[in-house]
Structure 1
């Protein structure tokens, strides 16, 4: 099940794990991604906390945690190849996996990505 936030993060929920990244629309709007500051594994985030920062040729943008929980994995491929976000934002360009601590927050997410 894929859900979205108003700020264009996506969440793919698989059991109690959420795969998080930015939407294709957001990646297109950012332009060429040049750097991703990955979140720290083991860090606990609350919905709405800054998860990480993405830098592009146009701007630096914060990515917000769409769901509360503990970061259990990050996409280390983005350190050497941040452009993966431009190439495949909603699959290979995922940023982090979060162990969900409040499943009811999933219901607050959008079924479709909002317009930019």
Structure 2
């Protein structure tokens, strides 16, 4: 079974969201998603400062098997992008919840309300079990 970390929020599209101390949200793909994709060879992400819409596409992830869109579960402004993924996309395979994070977003509105619509770790695990 794939790793599901406590303290994060999850989407049905297999992205994770972490609320940071400064109120921003850090996003990446789950361990399950990186296993499904296989060896990741390229990650395309937006530029810092770009505005994004909730559930809109914010880039793509290319693996040896396929290309998948990356979706942002909340709207806001891109505050930071993990530049290491430009030269080391395999970080997503090795540490999807750590060095393989993708973006940080400054959310539109209060983060708590936005996060309420996402899955808890327990709910995400139950979704995978179905």
Give the TM-score taking structure 1 as reference length.
0.95
- Deviation of 1:51 after TM superposition, in Å, equals 1.3
Distance 2:12 2:27 in 1: 14
Moved segments of 4+, more than 3 Å = none
- Counterpart of 1:77 in structure 2 is 84
* Structural mapping, 1:1-116, within 5 Å: 1-15=7-21, 16-102=23-109, 103=111, 104-112=113-121, 113=124, 114-115=127-128
- Deviation of 1:47 after TM superposition, in Å, equals 1.1
Distance 2:120 2:98 in 1: 17
Q: How many residues align?
A: 116
Distance 1:58 1:71 in 2: 28
- Structure with the bigger percentage of strand: 1
- Deviation of 1:39 after TM superposition, in Å, equals 1.2
Give 1 or 2 for the bigger CA radius of gyration.
2
Distance 2:61 2:96 in 1: 12
RMSD over aligned Cα, in angstroms?
Answer: 1.2
Distance 1:41 1:14 in 2: 17
- Greater shift after overlay, 106-115 or 82-91? 106-115
Task: Mark the runs of 5 or more structure 1 residues left unpaired by the alignment.
Answer: none
The structure, 1 or 2, with the larger RCO (C-alpha pairs under 8 Å, 6+ apart) is: 1
Give the TM-score taking structure 2 as reference length.
0.85
